[in-house]
Amino acid sequence: MSSTMISANDAAIDPGALRQAFGTFATGVTVITTHDADGQPRGMTANSFTSVSLDPPLLLVCVGKSALSYNAFASGDCFAVNLLHEGQTDVSATFASKSPDKFKTVNHDVVHTGAPILMDSLTWFDCSVDQRVDAGDHIVLIGQVRAFGTSPKSPLCFCRGSYASLKEPLPSKWLESHGMISGYLIEADDSILLRADGKGGWSLPVSGRSRGKTELPVDQGSLMLVPESTFLYSVFDVDDIDPGYLIFRAQLDTASSSQALPESLRFFPVDQLPYDLMPSNEMRSVMRRYVRERKDQRFSIYMGSSDGGRVAMIDGAARTWADFSREQQL
């Protein structure tokens, strides 16, 4: 094992060699995000991240003073830490660059503090600033976790200046947080919207949550939905995947959705759905059931269980809660 010994009388430590030594510690890769004084989202790639405390829930990140986003992090009252999964090397590269349009390429939203959350990341922590500590050419941000979410995907790792993969990252009995993946079965003009999975397959688009009940952020854009046509349709787990799926059926508001769809999204005619390219039997079952039920416009709600699940039919047209409550009082 080679080593470098430095005494008080020796020359200063070589920053380049020290950086290489620090780089032998394998880490995850994060994108830390906040907003500037004008409310614009700012973000950068970082791997100086660690948990600090469970009670209170604290974590820390280090921000270089030479970073373009430094002033935003040094003065803001909140930030988010987004841990990347192994399929997000492009996201890491984008946020490590000086691109002025970093957030146009990612699906992001706000949850609690107002800091941008990368909804497709491995794990995210939404934090208010607890302390700032000046530390040489960096500032240490200690954040109190106000909300978080995670998934069973594999983490993106970094060691010796290169990305690395972690073998078998998910222990067999590991449980994640109590979130659910929200998928949307969106119809327009006798077609259903599907999302490319990047591996030649197609699935339903997913999103963290809608904005104002009608605007749904999806990939690099957003879709306008008809609020009175959006209902829960299925709740189920997929083998070895937590936390499970919430599937909503919805109608695209074509009058309000004037922007072009992101390249990852495509409408398929109902009679040309690519069932064989869908990721799971559960998803194929959802789609086939929807196609059958839409013929009579008589829909059900499915909830998965160990014995095959339960289905409850919904009879009658949709009404607003105000109208329903008024009728119950008559």
How many C-beta atoms surround the C-beta of residue 91 within 10 A? 23
Q: Which tens digits make up the pLDDT trace of 59-94? A: 999 999 988 889 999 999 999 999 998 888 899 999
DSSP of 79-118, one letter per residue? Answer: EEEEEPBTT-HHHHHHHHS--TTGGGGS-EE--SSS--EE
Q: Give pLDDT, residue 273.
A: 95
Q: Which of 121, 182, 173, 111 is nearest to 151 (CA)?
A: 121
The position carrying tokens 């390429």 is 105
Q: Give pLDDT, residue 314.
A: 77
- Cα distance between residue 289 and residue 192, in whole Å: 13
> Which helix (H) or strand (E) segment is 234 a member of?
strand 231-238
| Radius of gyration, CA atoms only, the chain | 23
User: Domains in the chain, please, with CATH?
Assistant: 17-164 (2.30.110.10), 181-325 (3.90.79.10)
Q: Give pLDDT, residue 63.
A: 92
**pTM for the full predicted model:** 0.51
Tell me the sheet residues that pair with 79: 127
- Cα distance between residue 286 and residue 238, in whole Å: 12
- Cα distance between residue 168 and residue 17, in whole Å: 32
Ordered per-residue pLDDT tens for the chain, 330 residues: 445 544 444 557 777 777 777 766 677 899 999 999 888 999 999 888 998 988 889 999 999 998 888 999 999 999 999 999 888 889 999 999 888 889 988 888 888 888 999 988 888 999 999 999 998 889 999 999 988 888 777 888 887 777 776 655 555 444 444 456 788 999 999 999 998 877 788 988 887 655 555 778 776 677 888 877 888 888 876 654 455 788 899 999 887 766 678 788 899 999 999 999 987 888 888 999 999 999 888 888 888 766 677 888 877 666 666 666 666 666
Question: What does DSSP assign to residue 121?
Answer: S
Q: Give pLDDT, residue 167.
A: 59
Q: Which of 268, 264, 262 is nearest to 192 (CA)?
A: 268
Across the chain, mean pLDDT equals 81
Q: Which tens digits make up the pLDDT trace of 141-175? A: 999 998 888 877 788 888 777 777 665 555 544 44
The position carrying tokens 């995000």 is 33
- Cα distance between residue 246 and residue 257, in whole Å: 24
Amino acid type, 59: L
Q: Give pLDDT, residue 224.
A: 86
